[in-house]
Copies of this chain bind each other. A is one copy, B any other.
C-alpha cells in the first residue's frame, strides 16, 4: 500500500520531464513498458498521483504578489466563511487550523496596492472577526514533493 523505489523513480522522472510518456519512462527506468504502465496506473488508482494538471504561475498572468492571511472566525460561521472565500478567485487555497477557530489562506494580487482590495474582499464578510496578513517576499523553496517521495520509498 506504500510506495517503493521504482515508484519513486517513476514519479521523479515524470516530475522532471512530464512530457516523456510511459514508453520513454520505462526505457529510462530499465523496465518493461508494461511494468511502468502498471505502476503508473496503480499510483493513479491509489491517489498517490492526483493528476497531471498544468501548473500555472500566478505571476505570469498578472498576479505577482503572494500573501498569507490568518483569519479569526466567529463561532459557527465556518461553513459560511468557507463558501465566501471559495468565491474569491484570488484565494488560492484555504486551510482550517488548530486554535481559535482560525483559518489560513493563500492570496495573490496584482500589486501591493491591489492586495488591499483583495484583503478587503476577503475580510468584508460577516463572520470574520480579525485578519492578519503577511506578504511573501521570496520563495526559496517552491512547492516540491520529490524529496518526500524519495523518503517515503525507503520503507
A96 within 8 A of B: yes
Given the known interface contacts A95-B139, A98-B134, the answer about A49 and B54 at a Cβ–Cβ threshold of 8 Å is yes
Q: Could you say which of B11, B54, B88, B147 contacts A54, with CB atoms under 8 Å apart?
A: B11
In the assembled complex, the Cα of A63 lies from the Cα of B50 at a distance in Å of: 15
Q: Which residue of B lies closest to A96 (CB)?
A: B138
Chain A interface residue bracket vs B = 35 or more
In the assembled complex, the Cα of A108 lies from the Cα of B90 at a distance in Å of: 25
A132 to chain B, nearest CB (A): 10
Instruction: Report the copy number of this chain in the oligomer.
Output: 2
Given the known interface contacts A53-B55, A86-B141, A145-B56, the answer about A152 and B63 at a Cβ–Cβ threshold of 8 Å is yes
A138 to chain B, nearest CB (A): 4
In the assembled complex, the Cα of A88 lies from the Cα of B120 at a distance in Å of: 36
Residues of A within 8 A of B (CB): 2-3, 11, 14-15, 18-19, 46-58, 60-63, 66, 68, 82, 85-86, 88-99, 102, 104-106, 108, 134-145, 147-152, 155
Query: Top 10 A-B pairs ranked by shortest CB distance?
Result: A94-B141, A89-B147, A18-B52, A61-B152, A56-B145, A50-B55, A97-B134, A48-B60, A96-B138, A93-B143
